[in-house]
Structure 1
Amino acid sequence: MHRFFTSTLLCLGLAGNVLAQATIPPSVSLQTPAVTQALEAIRPHGIEAHMTFLADDLLRGRQPGTEGFALASRYMESQFKALGLTPAGEEGTYLQAVPLRKAEVVEAGCAMQVIPKKGEPVVFTYDEEYLVSPDLAATASEVTAPVVFVGFGVTAPELRHDDYAKLDVSGKIVAMLSGAPASFPSDQRAYYSSTKLENAVAHGAVGVINLSSRDSPRSWDSMVRRTKQGAFRWLDAEGQPNRTHPELKAVVSVSSAGAAALFADLPKSKSLDKVLSAEVPPRFALPVTCTIRTQSRHTLIPSNNVVGLLPGSDPDLKDEYVVYVAHFDHFGVGVAVDGDSIYNGAHDNASGSAILLEVARGFAALPTPPRRSILFLAVTAEEWGLLGSDYFASNPTVPQENLVATIAMDMPFLFLPLLDIVPYGADHSSIATAVGQAADFLQLGISPDPMPEQVLFIRSDHFSFIRQGIPALFVKAGSQTDDPAIDGKQVNLDWRGQVYHTPKDDMTQAFDFEAGAKHARLDFLTGYLMAQETPRPTWNAGDFFGGKFGQRRPE
């Protein structure tokens, strides 16, 4: 056993039975000619070539429903064919249809007015004081109701936190801060940041006003650009959009100026500054009523996932599947930045799609396929709410109960040599053992989440599978560098603040393609180990996500 293996698992913070396993030599060896052959098949120039095509202006940003997306889909399909993968979509093809509804705000039909108990009504200006989230369920709605500030809007019984305690918000609009309390463990913080609309509905709210917390990773300008792109949901067999909240008649975000108007004339103990600086914000009724009008335009958008299969070699395990997933969509053409309106999505996520293809190349190079089958899934509409992966995880083209684990590849951060990783999800299941062994083999360190405020755990396609009770992993680069003058975390934060989700994310950036190949080798080794081991990956005893979703899995 490599000398790093036990320390790697310790870095993950594992306890009890899982930590005890770290002292047991792994049953699957990575030091074999077959594994060496597979790793050598993974090419840095292959990462570069795939990214160069997918991020080219020709594809116009790969938004679902566009010709550029269709070109990207055809590219992924042709690569699967070239690698000899078996079609695993629908009707003997590589494609799984994903019907989408697109909703766009009709700005001229929207309005927001704040009516204080004392003084004159304040009419907000679109783009300046407020933004309306497109309504996926209705083309027009209006609500007038009192406003209650509910802190983060989170109810987390196991963490003894309830922002709705002793508040009556039935029939009211709730105003809430973005994110979740900083005191929460990183992954729970991410999870509760993603479930706040459902929680508002459960407490009887009829509208939501989102306020940016002080550590919010998104600027107002980025929110404006993002909102103008619209929103998508996948449609079920009856043509109904998934994960919508028709009970909420308006969901808006307000700028700092808009927030100041909501909190005007309050005592210092309830001032906006007090609310934004408090670790646990006070919760109270605001002395205002709001009228919000929303108008949206709906369009049916046909889209698809691309699915390829490497059949397993073990007669008893070949009907079980380890899934690799990466999204190949992006935002298309949108608001221009410095004269450029094509959102190429080179790092997000031509890089992850390229890694998916090189991992597939590694598996295809094995003299004998692994015992379990490997499913390669290129998905649509991740940028719009993990929709392609959620559709597949909810409606898989193979038996859902036989999906044993998932590894997602999404903008792994290819701007520095890869020295350490952050394996989101590993500390929730026995996947930790596989990723620990793989990282050890490649002499990579394992680090904790350096940016919990970014809530990355719920922001990529692995989370769609976790919601179905399937253990999953999402690996990002850590912050270690080989140059003491370079702060890896700051490089990452600067990229997110200046380039992320803008047209600047193109192939002119200084990518480290060897780091991309190293990511692909790590992902290959992790999935290879899970495909070779006889036991399925399992949730850790008492795990939060295993307890919430794991009961959906077969015994």
Structure 2
Amino acid sequence: MPRILPLCAAVAAFALAACQREAPAPAATAPAPQPTANAAPAYAFSPDINAADFAELDKTLSSDAFEGRGPGTPGEDKSVEYIKSQMQRMGLKPGNNGDWFQTVPMVETTADPNTTLTLTVDGKPRTLKFGDDMVIGTTTGQKEIDIKDSPLVFVGYGVDAPEQHWNDYAGLDVKGKTVVMLVNDPGFHVHDASLFEGKRMTYYGRWTYKFEEAARQGAAAAIIIHDTEGASYGWDVVRNSWSGAQYDLPAKDDPNPRVPAQGWITGEQAKSLFADAGLDLDKLRAAANKRGFKAVPMNATLSLDLKSTTVDKQSRNVVGILPGSEHPDEAVVYMAHWDHLGKHDSEQTPDGKTDVIYNGAVDNGTGVSGILEIAGKFAGAPTPPKRSVLFVAVTLEESGLLGSEYYVAHPAIPLDKTVAVVNLDALSPIGKSRDITVVGMGSSELEDILKPIALQQGMTMHAESRPEAGSYFRSDHFNFAKAGVPALYVDSGEDLVDGGTAAGEAANKDYNDHRYHKPGDQYDAATWKLDGILAVLDSVYGVGEQLANDDAWPNWYKTNPFRAARDKMMAAKSAAPAK
């Protein structure tokens, strides 16, 4: 899961307002074809959603044989072929205009790990080491970025939000300069609920927006000061996510602006830098959370000789479809990203061993396994749905939601014929809960469909418990949302039947602290409890089943800024002459 636009003003204005259950006996079907990556004996899948099938899918996708599912690697080949084989097994058809795959062009950029960054204050240079003190890279596709003595300017949160009457760049010319900024939104670090959306992060708080805005302002480089609370993850996640090969869409396929060099600096290094420059970072952080903040020149410069290897490559989205019996041109979409971080330098796992493979069993082996289980249930139903159901396993989510961005620009089913999108990403194998999380709750009428179905599963709906983490902007549904298509992003609940909310929060914190974006994110038959995930899958299956068998077109709620795009899209469809 994550990394993630001229549309950001509207987005930021958005008030986002296990013990396994017993599996049914396997169906007496012919053994499924197995990919070369899975040397185990053939496994007979049931047509229903069940724990044994889910476990088989996840442990295969997250096995070492798939090498961490890195895009553009042999692990990708094994991953997409396995997903395709499962879709074929259950009887889906190729969903991308007769093809199982949608080719996504990408540029692979790998920064020299020996790259250093030099910060100079009063003629005294300070050299920062890649990984330990900072991470830096480029999305421009250039093999070398040479920056000499670029003046540093602290720009607070690096936000220009007209509808919030906030502009950290007001009266400022940063062309050729390096902007240094805080992560998250104005108001976050001082807990001022009157600013932006209070505790809930808006898109302005995401690092992707901040780099894009720095590019629009003409900066030579952009540096974010890391803090665990504001980012919602520790420095090790930043280091792991930004080291090794990085992927971007080619500039011709992505209209978003790009700053020549962008990266992060540790909080410790930032505090020391500011002190050397005669500034107090804590006082400036407080000042940056008040209206009328003015950017502060830092009396320091940045120099960087960034050498990278770049390779033009391709990755693939996997697209399968169950054609509708009455309206095959209309579709409900289930989506999950198959990619993870591949292989990196070795890191110690919680059991004290070292490992180089980032298996991604939770992130996002669970989501892919989930949509495949849902696909199997649809395909095994006695009658086909009236509308088509499309299953899309997208690539490059970890690189900034790029596979879904490309799909939205080149949809297999036109967006005005796409009824809704259901996204699954990093479900928690921590047991049955009394609740289901709707990330960005208060967004669309899809929640009205989900609510009674979830109640039948014994679950109430609630918003994410940590809205400051900005999860709504960190998964692939967001690209559909920006385009106007109603999207539902659900996650496991935390109010566990066994242990309550305290147990659920503790389990999720343990994952976030010890396994998220680390080699330890592995399938564990001894500790995983799948009944909670199965309840989520049954619920979102019910949403899709209802939509696929009626003629409803759910929309965003009236106060949601994405509604205007959907209304415009549907009005244009209605006005178009019949073909």
TM-score w.r.t. the length of structure 2 is 0.82
- Does 1:514 pair with 2:546? no
Following superposition, which runs of at least 4 residues in structure 1 exceed 6 angstroms of deviation? Answer: none
Distance 2:437 2:490 in 1: 6
Q: Which amino acid aligns with 1:169?
A: V
* Whole-Å separation in 2 of the counterparts to 1:423 and 1:484: 18
Asked whether the equivalents of residues 319 and 402 of structure 1 are also in contact (C-alpha less than 8 Å), the reply is yes
Q: Which residue number corresponds to residue 151 of structure 1?
A: 156
| CA apart distance, 1:386 | 1.4
Cα offset for 1:393? Answer: 1.2
Q: Which deviations, in whole Å up to 9, do the C-alpha atoms of 1:62-92 show, x marking residues without a partner?
A: 11122222122111111111211121124x2
- Residue in 1 aligned with 2:351? none
Match of 1:299 among 311, 323, 342: 311
Per-residue CA distance 1:451-487 (angstroms, 9 max, x = gap): 1222111111111211222111110122212325943
CA distance in 2, matches of 1:323, 1:350: 18
Q: Matched residue of 2:172: which SS? A: coil
Distance 1:400 1:221, change over 3 A: same
Aligned to 1:170: 175
Give 1:255's match in structure 2, choosing from 258, 263, 266: 266
Range that drifts further, 182-191 or 363-372: 182-191
- Aligned CA distance change for structure 1 residues 526 and 187 (closer, same or farther; 3 Å): farther
SS of residue matched to 1:165: coil
Instruction: Summarize the alignment of residues 396-545 of structure 1 with structure 2, pairs less than 5 Å apart.
Output: 396-482=411-497, 483-484=499-500, 486-508=502-524, 510-545=527-562
Check the 8 A contact 1:468/1:552 in 2, yes or no.
no
Judge which range, 164-173 or 186-195, deviates more.
Answer: 186-195
Q: Does 1:45 align with 2:52?
A: yes
Match of 2:297 in 1: 285
What CA distance in whole angstroms lies between the structure 1 residues aligned with 2:405 and 2:371?
A: 18
Report the Cα distance in structure 2 between the residues aligned to 1:202 and 1:226, rounded to whole angstroms: 24
Asked whether the 8 Å contact 1:103–1:232 carries over to 2, the reply is yes
Q: Does the C-alpha gap of structure 1 residues 152 and 546 become closer, same or farther in structure 2, counting only changes over 3 Å?
A: farther
**For residues 287 and 65 of structure 2, what CA distance do their matches in structure 1 show?**
48
Maintained 8 Å contact 1:137/1:241: no
1:428-466 per-position Cα deviation (integer Å, ceiling 9, x unaligned): 222121122321222211122211222111111111211
Matched with 2:136 is 132
State the match for 2:63 in structure 1: 56
SS in 2 for 1:326: strand
CA deviations 1:502-550 (Å, max 9, x no partner) are 1111112621122221121111011222223423121222313334786
1:384/1:554 Cα in 2 relative to 1: closer, same or farther (>3 Å)?
A: farther
Aligned residue number for residue 222 of structure 1:
237
Q: Which residue of 2 aligns with 1:189?
A: 202
Of 325, 340, 346, 1:313 maps to: 325
Aligned letter for 2:100? Y
What CA distance in whole angstroms lies between the structure 1 residues aligned with 2:280 and 2:240? 29
Tell me the secondary structure at the aligned position of residue 298 of structure 1: strand
Pairing partner for 1:142 from 129, 139, 146: 146
Give the Cα–Cα distance (whole angstroms) in 2 for the partners of residues 481 and 107 of structure 1: 43
Aligned residue type for 1:132? I
Tell me whether 1:94 sits opposite 2:100 in the alignment. Answer: yes
For 2:29, the equivalent position in structure 1 comes to none
Alpha-carbon spacing, 1:200–1:95, altered in 2? closer, same or farther (3 Å)? same
Distance 1:549 1:284, change over 3 A: farther
| Alpha-carbon distance in structure 1 between the residues aligned to 2:228 and 2:84 | 43
Assess if the C-alpha contact under 8 Å between 1:64 and 1:301 holds in 2.
no
Alignment correspondent of 2:124? 120
Unaligned runs of 5+ in 2: 1-14, 18-45, 349-353, 573-579
Contact 1:107 1:295 in 2 (8 A): no
**Residue 331 of structure 1, aligned match among 325, 336, 341:** 341
1:77 aligns with 2:87: no
Quote the residue 1:392 is aligned against. Answer: 407
Provide the residue aligned with 2:36 in structure 1. Answer: none
User: CA offset at residue 208 of structure 1?
Assistant: 0.3
Task: Quote the Cα distance in structure 1 between the aligned partners of 2:565 and 2:389.
Answer: 26
2:214 to 175, 182, 200: 200
SS at 1:436's partner residue?
helix
Verify: 1:271 aligned to 2:280, yes or no: yes
Cα gap change, 1:539/1:59 in structure 2, threshold over 3 Å: closer, same or farther?
Answer: same
2:43 aligned residue = none
The separation in 2 between residues aligned to 1:544 and 1:278, in whole angstroms, is 30
CA-atom RMSD, angstroms?
A: 2.6
Q: Render the CA deviation track for 1:212-258: whole Å, top value 9, x for unaligned.
A: 1351223223322222232112347xxx4535644x22212112332
Residue aligned with 1:107, SS = coil
Shift of 1:189: 1.8
Offset at residue 266 of structure 1 (A): 5.5
Task: Give the corresponding residue for 2:364.
Answer: 349
CA distance in 1, matches of 2:501, 2:262: 44
- CA displacement at 1:162 relative to structure 2: 2.6
**407-416 or 137-146, which deviates more:** 137-146
Judged with a 3 Å threshold, the aligned counterparts in structure 2 of structure 1 residues 479 and 436 are, in CA distance, closer, same or farther, namely same
Name the count of aligned residue pairs: 509
TM-score, normalising length from structure 1? Answer: 0.85
Please say if residues 136 and 232 of structure 1, whose CA atoms lie closer than 8 Å, have aligned partners that are also in contact: no
Does the Cα contact within 8 Å between 1:111 and 1:126 map onto a contact in 2?
Answer: yes
Question: Where do 5+ consecutive residues of structure 1 fail to align?
Answer: 1-12, 16-38
Q: Does structure 1 residue 212 correspond to structure 2 residue 251?
A: no
Is the CA contact (8 Å cut-off) linking 1:380 and 1:389 kept in structure 2?
A: yes
Q: Residues 27-77 of structure 1, C-alpha deviation per residue, up to 9 Å, x if partnerless?
A: xxxxxxxxxxxx982111111110111111111111112222212211111
Q: Per-residue deviation at 1:107?
A: 3.3
Q: 1:195 to 1:353 in 2, by over 3 A?
A: same
2-side partners of 1:209 and 1:131: how far apart? 9
Distance 2:500 2:417 in 1: 46
Q: Which amino acid aligns with 1:222?
A: V
Residues 415, 380 of structure 1: alpha-carbon distance in 2 compared, 3 angstrom cutoff:
same
